[in-house]
Amino acid sequence: DAGVIQSPRHEVTEMGQEVTLRCKPISGHNSLFWYRQTMMRGLELLIYFNNNVPIDDSGMPEDRFSAKMPNASFSTLKIQPSEPRDSAVYFCASREGATDTQYFGPGTRLTVL
């Protein structure tokens, strides 16, 4: 199993630009999570999908952030427009069924200049 796949691994962009992060969950997993990790705030849950449907997006910072899951094998997290304070590592994780264990991808390190 390839595990959770995220792309790109690194992204450097300028303030105001649109950023799209991608995630492919583990095959057969029906829940997908997007997290943001910073030194100051640690791991923060942004949004959670179950069977491709967004369940809880209360962690999404503001309207500049949006996430989609068009099918069971793909999700995107978009930031438009990006700001320097969005610089962080963004992780995608997936989970099978009703279990609690989440499996993380390698993350995307985003730098907004």
For residues 38 to 57, the per-residue mask of contacts with another protein, x marking binding by CB under 8 A and - elsewhere, is: ----xx-x--x-x----xx-
Chain-centroid distance of CA 75 in Å reads 8
With binding defined as CB under 8 A, does residue 94 bind another protein?
A: no
Number of shown-chain residues binding another protein (CB under 8 A): 23
* Contact between 2 and another protein per CB under 8 A: no
As to burial, measured by CB atoms within 10 angstroms (0-12 exposed, 13-18 middle, 19+ buried), residue 96 is: middle
Residue with tokens 């610089």: 87
**Per this entry, what is the length of the chain?**
113
Report if residue 107 touches another protein, rule: CB under 8 A.
yes
103 touches another protein (CB under 8 A): yes
Classify 79 as helix, strand or coil: strand
The whole-angstrom distance between residue 31's C-alpha and the CA centroid of its chain comes to 12
User: Residues in the site for another protein, rule: CB under 8 A?
Assistant: 4, 31, 33, 42-43, 45, 48, 50, 55-56, 58, 91, 93, 98, 100-107, 109
